[in-house]
A = this chain, B = another copy of it.
Amino acid sequence: MSKNIPSPAIRRLPRYYRYLGELSEQGVSRISSKELSEKMKVTPSQIRQDLNSLGCIGQQGFGYSVEQLYNEIKVIMGLDRQYNVIIIGAGNIGQALVSYQNFANRGFSFKAMFDVNPKIIGLNIHGVDVLDADDLEDYLKSNNIDIGVLALPKSNAKKMADVLINNGVKGIWNFSHIDIETKNDVVVENAHLTDSLMRLSYKLNNDFNMMDFS
């Protein structure tokens, strides 16, 4: 698939998906760009442009079909399939992630966690076993893993990222404070919490139009 979707629209996709899911649960069958605009805090014309780029065209006087739009975005985001996920680092962040039921509901299944701490190795946390980080390579050779989560201190993160990438993991969700050089078909999504907190302090100190930032 390679629709030409502008990156601000891609950023908004998860939020569209959440809203449309909620609307669908409430039994709402159609929605106008104006109504979506109010929820999304983006102008109606931006909404129409976003949805156009997905190939979804609203009808005059009818708007968009909630179910159709929801399913379209689901497919575009790859949420119509299952992902096997492992977490490197069984500290607080890793433990927080496996405890979220939400991820399983979206098709992300946590298969194992890895750590270097002998006190943690062997534990079962929210149904997920903590394995020895030394065994990661062997594990990857015999298990089909789609996504590796880096939730470990900076010092070891680069090494572990290399093990993941060299053993066929295609997606990296990166909570560690390193930037990962990707190669070929490996993709990275950074979840750098410090960066997020710094953006908050930026907003606190500057005239800031929320609309601009959606």
Complex interface: chain B residues within 8 A of A5 (CB): 206
Cα distance A202–B92 in the bound complex, in angstroms: 26
Smallest CB gap from A107: residue in B = B201
Smallest CB gap from A19: residue in B = B179
Number of copies: 2
4 further A-B pairs in the complex, CB-CB below 8 A; given A95-B96, A106-B197, A147-B204: A77-B198, A106-B198, A107-B201, A182-B210
Cα distance A177–B172 in the bound complex, in angstroms: 22
Interface hit among A9-17, A59-67, A155-163: A9-17
Cα distance A210–B188 in the bound complex, in angstroms: 9
A194 touches B1 (CB 8 A): no
Interface hit among A28-36, A97-105, A116-124, A132-140: A97-105
Complex interface: chain B residues within 8 A of A106 (CB): 194, 197-198
Cα distance A3–B79 in the bound complex, in angstroms: 39
Known: A17-B198, A171-B200. A193 touches B97 (CB 8 A): yes
Complex interface: chain B residues within 8 A of A187 (CB): 200, 203-204, 208, 210
B1 touches A206 (CB 8 A): yes
CB contact between A194 and one of B14, B99, B147, B201 (< 8 Å): that residue? B14
Q: Mark A43-81 against chain B: 1 for CB-CB distance below 8 A, else 0.
A: 000000000000000000000000000000000111100
